[in-house]
Amino acid sequence: MVRASALSIGAIVRVKFDASGYFEQAIDREIVELAFGGWHGERAVAVASFCASTGEFPVLLSALELVRSLQADDLVVELHGPDALRWIREHRIDVVASIESVLGRGSCDPEGLDVGPYWDDDPDWNSAYEHRWSADRSYRPS
């Protein structure tokens, strides 16, 4: 699982979701740009939009539609970098060299204890992550 969050500045939107599906279909350049951007920014918003567009994340889709309907441009999407790097090392080893050429050698190596994303420690957030759901509404592991 690649833990991710979407939050609007006014806290109208607060969603946690699993971004693994994005990495399955992304081209190398997109993943490198996401890593280079610190796992947030415009590329991360594109990750959330992709995940929502699949129809597998109804809560995320509703949240993004709400932000768009309010014409708010204050959406912040972040991916948990250690989760992303772990996923890439397991499933897209070909991308590791590209990331390390941009971020430096060894940047994809595991680094000590991962305490998880900061948003998991916020008591105002629901602790559950939205996972991918199939068309028949049954859970489909990432």
Q: For residue range 63-96, what is the model confidence (pLDDT) as tens digits?
A: 888 888 877 667 889 998 888 988 998 899 888 8
CB 129 within 8 A of CB 51: no
Q: For residue range 29-55, what is the model confidence (pLDDT) as tens digits?
A: 999 999 988 899 889 999 999 999 988
Q: pLDDT-based confidence at 18, cuts 50/70/90?
A: very high
Q: What single DSSP character describes residue 7?
A: E
Percentage of the chain lying above the pLDDT 70 cut: 67
Q: How far apart are CA 85 and CA 87, in angstroms?
A: 5
- Determine phi and psi for 63, rounding to 5 degrees: -65, -45
CB 51 within 8 A of CB 17: yes
CB 22 within 8 A of CB 88: no
DSSP 55-74: TS-HHHHHHHHHHHHTT---
Q: For residue range 98-121, what is the model confidence (pLDDT) as tens digits?
A: 887 766 665 555 555 455 666 666
- Reading the block at residue 142, the tokens are 């990432």
Q: How far apart are CA 4 and CA 77, in angstroms?
A: 7
pLDDT of residue 142: 41
